[in-house]
Structures are given as structure tokens and as C-alpha cells.
């Protein structure tokens, strides 16, 4: 028995030394220009698929992936973050990425091979040794669901539908309020703004008409100082978002300031308030916003978010309810960011209950800044 074990040990040891010498000699070619030997290709594909299937089984249940706002948000990110490697319905695959090994597959035709949870897992974690990157903000494990919601629709999507989802429907001519303002921007700021407008519109209203409006936060009428600080926090990685961080990184301060000023000057129409809002919930929201709740240690929001406060603190009136609720939940699980401003806010809302979050987001989505109260239909 002992002799058998010794022989096995010697054989394994010789193999390890042989393998090391082969790698060290440089005879093995790591050239991406030559395909793998078929059995090796099969082995890698099998290992990748098995790993994804096993790990995705532990992903928690998805949110509603039919939500048009989620699909629109995922499409907006896909254009920047995935299409350069995987292609999109309106353009084929980039000739450079086709020469990667493994080559990223043309996804509009492959996404359906995976389940919702597997698409989420791949988007959040990436694939080691394949060149498939992980989600750029690991604190934001909520965001990749938007991409998964979009990927589910991708197989067979027409080029027109893709452009509507990834580029939005606003044109500078469509946003009358934005048009005169655009003339003031110089060439490079205008080019950057064209990309922002894919998601936020030129007037900063959000994700466009109808159900997808809440895909992106409203920037119109916001304090310029707040917008600038938010952009700088994304650019420096202090505020977490795998969607906004790559967009803002690399833009210098004067451009960020110009973009913040542009959106703060906009006067986009507010979306109509939801018709079926529960009056009791609305009343609770109004009460908390004005006076807080001493028993549970919730401070009055108006102390910091009222009119004429610190301009680095955001206005909340007319912001999309689902966006407000999502941000509040980020602070509760410590995933918003680690800037001084983010910490001030985090300390204020740590104790909110889920019901209070829904009440407050409904309240603020319905309220309007004082100077525009009563003129909803005109704006
Ligand atoms: C730098 C290029 C690159 C980028 C950017 C990229 N991927 Fe990938 N992706 C890859 C490569 C390479 C693979 C692995 C292909 C393989 O091993 O078969 C891959 C695999 C995948 C797969 C599995 C596909 C299959 O059927 O084999 C999915 C799904 C996927 N990526 C989604 C995404 C999404 C969503 C994004 C954007 C958030 C993205 N990828 C960004 C390169 C990229
Ligand atoms: C791919 C879509 C997309 C693009 C392009 C994009 N944004 Fe955003 N933006 C988002 C999303 C999604 C959020 C919410 C992120 C979060 O949860 O923190 C956001 C948040 C913001 C915020 C914070 C708003 C708030 O109320 O806190 C600002 C400011 C902003 N974007 C400005 C810009 C500017 C300026 C550009 C162009 C340089 C731009 N965005 C391009 C999707 C986009
Ligand atoms: C002590 C001051 C303070 C109090 C009290 C406060 N906030 Fe804030 N809030 C802030 C600051 C500062 C920010 C900006 C954080 C950042 O830039 O990261 C903020 C940001 C927010 C945002 C994000 C807005 C956006 O556009 O992304 C929401 C939503 C919000 N607060 C809601 C509330 C609610 C609801 C309450 C009451 C329960 C409240 N806040 C109480 C200081 C406060």
C-alpha cells in the first residue's frame, strides 16, 4: 500500500514539475490569434457554464423585470457598458472585440440561453480569465437587475426599438426649454451632454414619456451646487453607481460645472401625480417631512431639504417616487456612498421603516416647489 502511494506521489510530482518546465520554457502559445484545441475549448465552456449555474442558484429573487423603467435603465447602460464588446441590434460586433479569445458573443441572439438569475450573476460578477468585467460598483448589487431586465428582451429586438430604449426619445428640438440653453454650451460640453441626454433628456426630466420616466432621476430645477457635488462624487468613486461612475469619470471640473448649471436651469414639466395614491400614506409622508417622528428618531426632512437651505442639499419636490425610495433604501444598507454629505444624510434616515419610506417618497413626488405651486398644467 505504502509503495503504491509513493509511486502515485512521484508520478504527480513529476507531472507538476513537467508542467512547470513547459510553462517556464515559453513553448505554450498564449496567442489570442489561434483558437483553442477543441477539447480544451469544450472543457473551458463546460467549466464556465457549470460555475455560473451553481453560483446563480444562490441569487435572491428578482424585482419585477417587466417594469418599463427598469428595462429602459438597463438599455441605457448596455449601450455604454456592454455594446462595445457584445454588439447591439443597431450595429454589429466591434471588429476588435471579435479578435478576443474567448470572443464576447453577439448577445442579441444569445441572451436567451440564460435564466434571469444567471444574467444577473454574470453582469454583477463578470467572468474571470475571459475579459468579461465585473459590475463597476460592487456596493450596488441592485443595479445589475436593470441590465438583466433589458437582456431578457434583447433576442430579436429591432434596431428601432433598441434606439428608442438606449437613446431615449428626446431630441434637443423636442425639449423647447432646453433648446435656447444649448446654444450657450461650447463644443466639448455639448458632445458630453448628448450622451447624458440619452438617459436624462436634454431638459433633465428623466427617462422619457410614459411608464419609463422614472428610469432616471429628475435633474431639472435641481440646485446646481448639489448636481455638481453629486457628479464629482461619482467621478471620484465616493458615490456608488456602476451606471453613473463610468459616465462621470474622466470629465474635468469645468465640464461637470457646466453640465450641472445646464440641468439646474431647466424647467421640464412635472409628471402628473399618481391618481390612486393612498390618502393616509400621503398624510403620513407630509407629517414626517415637516415634523419627523420623535419616537423612532426620524428627524424632520424639511430641516435640511426645505426651501432656502444649503444649496449642496438636494431639492426633493417632484422627484420620481421610485427613485427617492431606492435611494433611501441604499442609505439603510450603507450602499449610497462614503462622502461627508452622504454620511450626513445616512445618519438622518437610518431608522426609517419601509412604510415611512413609501409615504415619504409619495409625498415628495407629489409636492412642488413653492414658486410653481398651482401652475402644474403650464409646466
Ligand atoms: C471587454 C469586453 C466585454 C464587456 C465590456 C462586457 N463583456 Fe460580457 N463577455 C465578454 C467575454 C470575453 C465573455 C466570455 C465569452 C465566453 O467565455 O464564451 C462574455 C460573456 C458574457 C455573457 C455570457 C454569454 C454567453 O452566452 O456565453 C453575458 C450574458 C455577458 N457577457 C453579458 C455582458 C453584459 C450585460 C455586459 C455589460 C454590463 C458585458 N457583458 C460587458 C466580454 C465583455
Ligand atoms: C446610461 C444612463 C445614464 C447616462 C448616460 C447618464 N446618467 Fe446620470 N444617472 C443615471 C442613473 C441610473 C442615475 C441614478 C444613479 C444612482 O442610483 O446613484 C443617475 C444619476 C445622476 C445624477 C444624480 C442625481 C441625484 O438626484 O442625485 C446626476 C447629477 C447625473 N446623473 C448627471 C448626469 C450627467 C451630467 C450625465 C452626462 C455626463 C449623465 N448623468 C449621464 C443614468 C445615466
Ligand atoms: C441633516 C440634514 C438632512 C436631513 C435631516 C435629511 N436629509 Fe436627505 N439629504 C441630505 C444631504 C446632505 C443629502 C445629499 C447627500 C449626498 O450628496 O450624497 C441628502 C439627500 C437626500 C436624497 C437623495 C436625493 C437625490 O436626488 O439623490 C433623498 C431622497 C433624501 N435626502 C431624503 C430625505 C428624507 C426623506 C429625509 C427625512 C426623513 C431627509 N432626507 C432628511 C441631508 C439631510
Check pocket membership of 231 for ligand 2, CB cut-off 6 A.
Answer: yes
Domain ranges within the chain, ordered by starting residue: 52-166, 177-265, 279-378
> What CATH code is assigned to 177-265?
1.10.760.10
Q: Does 177-265 match 52-166 at the fold level? A: yes
Rg (CA), the chain: 25
* pTM listed for this prediction: 0.94
Blockwise average pLDDT, block size 10, the chain, 379 residues: 89 90 89 90 95 97 97 97 94 86 90 95 96 97 98 95 90 59 76 94 88 94 97 98 97 94 93 85 97 93 89 95 97 96 94 96 91 47
Ligand nearest to the CA of 243: 2
Confidence (pLDDT) at 372: 59
Confidence (pLDDT) at 377: 37
CA of 113 to the centre of ligand 1 (A): 13
Q: 176's torsion region: left (phi>0), alpha (psi -120 to 50) or beta?
A: alpha
Ligand nearest to the CA of 118: 1
Check pocket membership of 195 for ligand 2, CB cut-off 6 A.
Answer: yes
| Residue 76: closest CA among 273, 260, 241 | 241
Taking the C-alpha atoms of 73, 136, 171 and 188 in order, what is their torsion angle to the nearest 10 degrees? 170
> What CATH code is assigned to 279-378?
1.10.760.10
Q: Is the dihedral of CA 157, 158, 163, 168 positive or negative?
A: negative
Ligand nearest to the CA of 228: 2
Q: Which of 191, 200, 225 to mutate to test the pocket of ligand 2 (most atoms within 8 A of CB)?
A: 200
187: number of Cβ within 10 Å = 7
Confidence (pLDDT) at 379: 36
CA of 65 to the centre of ligand 1 (A): 20
Alpha-carbon distance of 244 to 198, in angstroms, equals 13
> Ligand 3: residues whose CB is within 6 Å?
217, 229-230, 239, 298-299, 301, 303-305, 313-314, 316, 319, 324, 327-328, 337, 339, 341-342, 344-345, 348-349, 360
For domain 52-166, the CATH class is mainly alpha
Burial class (CB in 10 A: 0-12, 13-18, 19+), 85: buried
Check pocket membership of 196 for ligand 2, CB cut-off 6 A.
Answer: yes
Confidence (pLDDT) at 183: 67
Confidence (pLDDT) at 374: 45
Amino acid at each position: 500500500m505504502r509503495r503504491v502511494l509513493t509511486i502515485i506521489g512521484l508520478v504527480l510530482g513529476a507531472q507538476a514539475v513537467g508542467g512547470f518546465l513547459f510553462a517556464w520554457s515559453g513553448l505554450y502559445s498564449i496567442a489570442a490569434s489561434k483558437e483553442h484545441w477543441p477539447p480544451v475549448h469544450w472543457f473551458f465552456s463546460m467549466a464556465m457554464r457549470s460555475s455560473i449555474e451553481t453560483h446563480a442558484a444562490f441569487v435572491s429573487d428578482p424585482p419585477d423585470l417587466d417594469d418599463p423603467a427598469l428595462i429602459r435603465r438597463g438599455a441605457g447602460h448596455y449601450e455604454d457598458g456592454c455594446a462595445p464588446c457584445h454588439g447591439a441590434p443597431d450595429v454589429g460586433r466591434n471588429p476588435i472585440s471579435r479578435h478576443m479569445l474567448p470572443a464576447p458573443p453577439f448577445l442579441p441572439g444569445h441572451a436567451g440561453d440564460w435564466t434571469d438569475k444567471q444574467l444577473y450573476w454574470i453582469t454583477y460578477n463578470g467572468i474571470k480569465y475571459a475579459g468579461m468585467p465585473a459590475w463597476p460598483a460592487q456596493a450596488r448589487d441592485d443595479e445589475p437587475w436593470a441590465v438583466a431586465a433589458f437582456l431578457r428582451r434583447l433576442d430579436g429586438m429591432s434596431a428601432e426599438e433598441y434606439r428608442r430604449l438606449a437613446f431615449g426619445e428626446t431630441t434637443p428640438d423636442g425639449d423647447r426649454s432646453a433648446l435656447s440653453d444649448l446654444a450657450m454650451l461650447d463644443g466639448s460640453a455639448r458632445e458630453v451632454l448628448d450622451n447624458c441626454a440619452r438617459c436624462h433628456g436634454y431638459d433633465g426630466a428623466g427617462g422619457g414619456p410614459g411608464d419609463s420616466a422614472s428610469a432616471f432621476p429628475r435633474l431639472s430645477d435641481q440646485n446646481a451646487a448639489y448636481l455638481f457635488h453629486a457628479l464629482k462624487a461619482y467621478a471620484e468613486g465616493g458615490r456608488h453607481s456602476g451606471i453613473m461612475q463610468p459616465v462621470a469619470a474622466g470629465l474635468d471640473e469645468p465640464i461637470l460645472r457646466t453640465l450641472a448649471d445646464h440641468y439646474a436651469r431647466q424647467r421640464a414639466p412635472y409628471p402628473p401625480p399618481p391618481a390612486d395614491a393612498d390618502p393616509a400614506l400621503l398624510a403620513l409622508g407630509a407629517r414626517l417631512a415637516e415634523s419627523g417622528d420623535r419616537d423612532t428618531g426620524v428627524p424632520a426632512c424639511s430641516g435640511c431639504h426645505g426651501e432656502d437651505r444649503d444649496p449642496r442639499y438636494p431639492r426633493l419636490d417632484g422627484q420620481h417616487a421610485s427613485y427617492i425610495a431606492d435611494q433611501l433604501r441604499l442609505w439603510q444598507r450603507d450602499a449610497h456612498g462614503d462622502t461627508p454629505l452622504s454620511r450626513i444624510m445616512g445618519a438622518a434616515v437610518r431608522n426609517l421603516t419601509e412604510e415611512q419610506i413609501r409615504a415619504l417618497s409619495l409625498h415628495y413626488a407629489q409636492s412642488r416647489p413653492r414658486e410653481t405651486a398651482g401652475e402644474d398644467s403650464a409646466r
